[in-house]
Structure formats: C-alpha cells, structure tokens
C-alpha cells in the first residue's frame, strides 16, 4: 500500500494542522485510486466534536455527504480522511481504529509545539487492524 | 424502487456500485436485501447483534433513521437512503 501526496496537498494539510493547534483538525483528500494512491486535493472540514477538541475530532454527517458529492462532481476518488494529533505521534489510537472505515486511507499529522513534524498514513486490513502505508511526496502537474 | 446510496469505503464490497435499487418497501427489508446482494458489506455495516454499527448512520433526506427503531419506515420509488460513515477519532486520552 502506497500513497503519493502532491506537494501542495501536503502543505495544505500541514498548514491546517498548525493553524488549528492545539486542537485536532480534520478533512478529506481526493485523487486517483490505483496501485499507488495519488492524493491531489484536500478539503478542510470543521471539527464538529463538541467540547474539548485537543484529543478528538468528528466530522458532521452533512459534511461527509458533501464530500462524497464533491468527488462525483469532480470525477475524483474520495481516498480518505486526514486529522492531526497535537503533541502526539502520527499513529492511530485505539479510538481511531474502532471507528475507522475500510478502504479509506487515514493520514495522521503529528504536530509538536505548533509545528507539523511527521505525516503517516494508515489503512485497515481485513482483520480491522491498521497497517501503515508508504507515503511519498511529489509535485504533480495538475493543469 | 427506492435507492440506497453507498459510501466510498463500502464500494469495495459492492463491485464499486454507488447505488443499490431495492424492490422492498420498508427500511429493514431494504437493508436486508442490500446485504443479501452484497454479503461482504454485512460485517462493516452491522455489529454482532445485527444493529447498524455505532459509527455508521442512515439518512432519508435530512432525517436520521435506524432499522432497529424505524425499520417499518415506508420507502417510495423516489426515496434515497444514504449510508453515512460518522467519521471521528483522536489521540489516546
């Protein structure tokens, strides 16, 4: 499993994670599915978790439905969800695993003292355990 | 026929189909028909007790529905039942 993230998409995710620090941020990413998932576009989503957002994120159902519609309208694949872990490693928690969906890539950005320092990606296997995906960064020509 | 809208993560179990048209006329039977058509969906849609998993919501329009509570909800030809993952997560507390 390999995910290739465009330079711009990675920068946008990092900026979002740093802006929302010390809270968790979240969003979707889109691109093309294949032997290597190509992440080209990100879309920020408001963290809908009520209360303390430093350790939790939630995406409103309406935002999810809009995310699916965006993929169809733009002929892209909705490839997964990104979120940040403020002052924690870019590793999925048990809470992440319990509520994760199959097939999606879950990109996690570790933010330490307000700076995005590590980006890793994970996907559920058939036993509902996370396996890490190889992340590559590349600048795409999108025009 | 009513339509079930399938979210991206479940399409690996539905031959990449985005929609399923059901001939059933209530919510519970429609979900059962959907699972009968695509058995691999079941473990990701339902828990061990046969209820829709807590992190998956069903909507008809803007209204959340649940086969355990609203199973007899009648479906018409233009009804769309959306399966919506309730995306959430976070670090260890």
B 9-38 residues inside an 8 A Cβ radius of A: 9-12, 18
Query: H-helix or E-strand containing B44?
Result: helix B42-45
pTM of the model: 0.92
Residue range A4-36, pLDDT digits in tens: 999 999 999 999 999 999 999 999 999 999 999
Provide CB contacts within 8 A for A9, sequence distance 6+: A29, A31, A39, A40, A41, A42
Q: DSSP labels for A11-69?
A: HHHHHHHHHHTTS--EEEEEEE-SSEEEEEEEEEE-----S--SS-EE--HHHHHHHHH
User: What pLDDT shows up at residue B65?
Assistant: 95
pLDDT for res B90? 83
pLDDT tens, residue by residue, A60-113: 999 999 999 999 999 999 999 999 999 999 999 998 998 999 999 999 999 999
Tens digit of each residue's pLDDT (9 = 90 or more) over B28-81: 999 999 999 999 999 999 999 999 999 999 999 889 999 888 889 999 999 999
- Among all residues of chain B, which has the CA nearest to that of A64? B84
* pLDDT at residue A143, rounded to an integer: 46
Name which of B44, B91, B92 to mutate to probe chain A: the one with the most chain A Cβ atoms within 10 A of its Cβ. B91
């Amino acid at each position: 499993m390999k995910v290739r993230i465009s330079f711009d998409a990675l920068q946008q995710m990092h900026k979002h994670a740093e802006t929302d620090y010390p809270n968790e941020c979240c969003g979707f990413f889109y691109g093309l599915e294949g032997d290597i998932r190509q992440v080209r576009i990100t879309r920020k989503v408001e963290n809908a978790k009520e209360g303390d957002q430093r350790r939790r994120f939630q995406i409103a159902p309406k935002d999810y439905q809009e995310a699916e519609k965006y993929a169809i309208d733009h002929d892209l694949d909705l490839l997964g969800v990104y979120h940040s872990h403020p002052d924690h490693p870019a590793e999925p928690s048990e809470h992440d695993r319990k509520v994760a969906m199959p097939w999606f890539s879950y990109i996690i950005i570790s933010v330490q003292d307000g700076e995005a320092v590590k980006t890793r990606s994970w996907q559920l296997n058939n036993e509902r355990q996370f396996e890490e995906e190889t992340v590559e960064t590349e600048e795409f020509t999108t025009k | 026929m009513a339509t079930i809208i399938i979210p991206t993560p479940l399409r690996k179990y539905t031959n990449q189909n985005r929609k399923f048209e059901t001939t059933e006329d209530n919510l519970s039977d429609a979900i059962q028909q959907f699972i009968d058509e695509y058995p691999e969906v079941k473990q990701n849609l339902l828990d061990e007790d046969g209820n829709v998993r807590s992190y998956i919501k069903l909507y008809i329009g803007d209204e959340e529905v649940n086969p355990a509570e609203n199973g007899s909800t009648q479906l018409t030809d233009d009804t769309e039942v959306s399966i919506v993952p309730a995306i959430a997560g976070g670090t260890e507390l």
